Amino acid sequence: MAVYLANTGLECLLKDGSLDQKQMLAWFEKAKRIPTSYGFYATKVLQSGLTIVFRVLTKNNATEIAGVDMHMSGRCVWSAKPLVRIGEGEALSITLLMTNPSEKSAFIATLVHAATLEQIDEDTILNVQVCAFPQALDAFDSRQAYEAATDDKGRLEDKKLLPFNYIMARDESLSEEDRQKFAQQERMVLLCGPVLDVQERMHGYRNTKCMVATIATQMGHLDLVFSAKQLAKPLQKGSYVVASCAISADVLAD
């Protein structure tokens, strides 16, 4: 996964092109330790529900922070069946192409706390708490307004989830160069749906805040985490959104 400073309104953490090490260390020291066979996760939950997850490897009594992820805690839980691993991954992080138990919908998500699972295979049904970080986000007054602004060929079905880049990266009718371009962004998922709720959430850190919009999708409800600056006008209940997102799925849904 990654850190999403623009989505979460935490651009102040960026100093000279790097994360503020002093603040990150302060959160790390206060974080809850969740042990795994490879090390542990250090998880710090901010006032907003935004979760900072440090992936820590241990070897020969030495520890190394392998990476940092962001996730928004919430009540949106999906039942998902793993299909294919995406990318190389690592001991404490894995990205999967998944489907619902009826295999009628597909999406790509990076698992949070993945190494706490005993096994991950096609026979596993995971209950995961989900959120998404839009990298492109368009808002319409309604589904009808979205349909009026698009043609049939380029329009997503209502509440659709589509791993478009993943599909295009494997389209043999395209050139190798084009497939590689899609492969670089293959974890992004196109989606659309009506907005059910919008909240402004304060992080409890230097007056920073973000927005969380809950939308309806084929898989169930999904929380979109974004900054008000990503849209020309505010979202509200009843709006309709179309987005390209990175989906985060916490396996510790309970």
pLDDT per residue as tens digits for the range 213-233: 999 999 999 999 999 999 988
The residue assigned the tokens 């309709």 is 240
Q: Beta-carbon neighbour count of residue 54 at 10 Å? A: 22
CA dihedral 189, 194, 197, 199 (to 10 degrees): 50
pLDDT of residue 15: 87
> φ, ψ for residue 163 (rounded to 5)?
-80, 65
* Whether the predicted pLDDT of 106 surpasses 60: yes
pLDDT of residue 154: 86
Q: Which residues is 41 bridged to in the sheet?
A: 34, 55
Tokens of 237: 């209940």
pLDDT of residue 73: 96
What's the rounded Cα separation, in Å, for the pair 69 and 2?
5
pLDDT of residue 1: 55
The whole-chain average pLDDT of the chain stands at: 94
> What's the mean pLDDT in 195-220?
97
pLDDT digits (tens, 9 = 90+) for 114-150: 999 988 888 889 999 999 999 999 999 999 999 999 9
> What's the mean pLDDT in 15-21?
89
The residue assigned the tokens 């997102």 is 245
- Give Cα 224 distance to the centre of its chain: 8
Tokens of 83: 């299909």
